[in-house]
Structure 1
């Protein structure tokens, strides 16, 4: 991957076919995890009537949403009130569905851009209005990778960076670093 650079109101870079495939896979896994295998249930509703939307949400969302067992989901959707289970449950009940819908919509923007590269044969072009969804998705993917690797701070990231190449985690550490490079250069190109 080359650095992102600004060009004609967009940020652009060239990805290899392998990089397009890897990022597409990671973003698809993120969508799968967030949607619990049912991304279509998190599509934005067609209606603009607020009462109809409210009724739809109440019909779908449980009164007492469960906390997540998966540590990645706990990092992506943290407990708002760690010392008050009822307040945390209420917060999840009223916000989590919208947060999931937003993350999935952002991921769809990224997937569309990646598909437009024709497997890396065409430069990746991210229009200015799509930069924020890109950055949010890269952040979510990077959080997922960090959580799976056990990265909790700069010190644990440094320890993992010293892994020998034959350690199975070393590849994912390089992916974590690559995602950070993508975020940093995208922000610098703005």
Structure 2
């Protein structure tokens, strides 16, 4: 896959029932920072959604019930404004606003919880590999790592406006003093980690 990134993560290797690699201290800090930013973004989005959800109407107040029903079933899908969140929680039915709104309302809370739970698994794993100790990922946690790495790559791809191989290739040719060059290096580094994690399964 070429240059694995700005700090050169080592390949994951399978040892018994664990997937093992090693990180330099700056690699641990980088990955922790990325995951924490992802958690904050998803958490803040969930808080805004909850704040915008109307309180339950009293059963003996039909007008309040109808108002709540109308607010919960808007004509347009409740799509987040942040483009990263749009990639993380895509519109399921872009040509059917009502179906899209219903799908988002009934599934997004569970999707947020799943992403946050997976991210916490990664943060816990990173916390255990300080002081030069190897990172050891139990096989039953590999899926959480893969999903979180995917979410991080989606986030970076959105910020970098990577939409296809051609746009990625243009970024790979940026001069080193361009701020996007470092982010693209991180994007490639995450891809390398993800690829070798899959290969080691």
**TM over 0.5: same fold?**
yes
Gaps of 5+ in 1: 43-61
- Partner residue, 1:87: 99
Q: What is the Cα deviation at residue 67 of structure 1?
A: 1.2
**Structure 1: which 4+ aligned runs deviate by more than 2 Å?**
62-66
How far does the alpha carbon of each residue in 1:70-91 deviate from its partner, in whole angstroms, 9 at most, with x for none? 0000011110110111111000
Aligned to 2:12: 4
State the secondary structure of the residue aligned to 2:129: coil
Is residue 16 from structure 1 mapped to residue 24 from structure 2 by the alignment? yes
Structure exhibiting the larger radius of gyration computed from Cα positions: 2
In 1, Cα distance between equivalents of 2:163 and 2:45? 27
- 1:73 is aligned to 85
Deviations 1:82-117 (A, max 9, x none): 011111100000000000000000000000000001
Could you say what secondary structure the match of 1:79 adopts?
coil
Q: Deviations over 1:119-161 (max 9, x none)?
A: x511000000000000000000010000000001111111110
- How far residue 37 of structure 1 moved from its aligned partner, in angstroms, is 6.9
CA contact (8 A) 1:16 1:121 kept: yes
Q: Which residue does 1:139 correspond to in 2? A: 150
Gaps of 5+ in 2: 1-8, 51-70
- In 1: Cα distance, 2:94 partner to 2:16 partner: 46
Which among 66, 69, 72 is matched to residue 63 of structure 1?
Answer: 72
Q: How many positions carry a matched residue from both structures? A: 169
TM superposition shift of 1:17:
0.4
Partner residue in 2 for 1:187:
198
- TM-score normalised by L of structure 2: 0.80
Structure 2 residue aligned with 1:117: 129
TM-score (normalised: structure 1): 0.85
Residue 170 of structure 1 corresponds to which residue in structure 2? 181
